[in-house]
Amino acid sequence: MAHLLHIDSSIQGDGSTSRRLTARAAAVWRAAHPGGTVTYRDLGKDPLPHLDHVGGLARMVPAEHHTPGQAASWALTEQLVNEVKQADTVLLGLPLYNFGAPSSVKAWVDHLIAVGLSIDPVTNEGLLGGREFIVLKSRGGGYGPGTPREGWDHAEAWLPHGLSLTGLTPRFITAELTLAKVNPAMSELIPLAEESLAAAEREIDRLWSSASVAA
């Protein structure tokens, strides 16, 4: 049975473009996979603990020597890695905050980097490859070639590198200029914003168009 891991990270609630895109993608996935199951995680509402001095060293200390704090951190990492392993497809909503990924997404990635769980301890091969990883991005401004802020989108540049050890390879679908309707200084960009959103939605709608309808 097909399984989807659906992750949101925006703090914007119902006003979030990335949430709108992941919800659309999840609906398309369900239509293409009748009987498929879904695990949902909301990093924006329930952020993961960052790796700190209490639990962070769990990744460097043998399990039999874990302190209680390290054991709890490692148990959470096992849960997060297993969520990915159980999924055929992973959807991640990724808004651009201050030119980078939300800190909640960084924490998720940090937990996924775990030798013995997501990385083979002998070969260093990533153990999370072989599944779809669709990243639905939203960014308030324009960052394309020739724009004043070309190259300022550090989230898209970072994520493939951040997860490279695990074998996960993201495919990005992006809607940009999302602030055009709420920022008067960007009002002339509203048509481009609408075009970008529509293009992202069309790409989402084609994601599983040839998928088998078998459960």
Per-domain residue ranges of the chain: 3-205
The predicted structure's pLDDT at residue 211? 54
Instruction: Profile the chain (215 residues) by mean pLDDT over runs of 10 residues.
Output: 97 95 98 97 97 93 95 98 98 98 98 97 97 98 94 97 98 97 95 97 94 43
113, 59 Cβ separation under 8 angstroms: yes
Q: What is the pLDDT of residue 116?
A: 95
d(CA 64, CA 44): 33
Residues 6+ apart with CB under 8 A from 139: 95, 96, 153, 174, 175, 176, 177, 178
Cα radius of gyration (the chain): 18
Strand partners, 4: 38, 89
Q: What is the pLDDT of residue 215?
A: 38
CATH topology of domain 3-205: Rossmann fold (3.40.50)
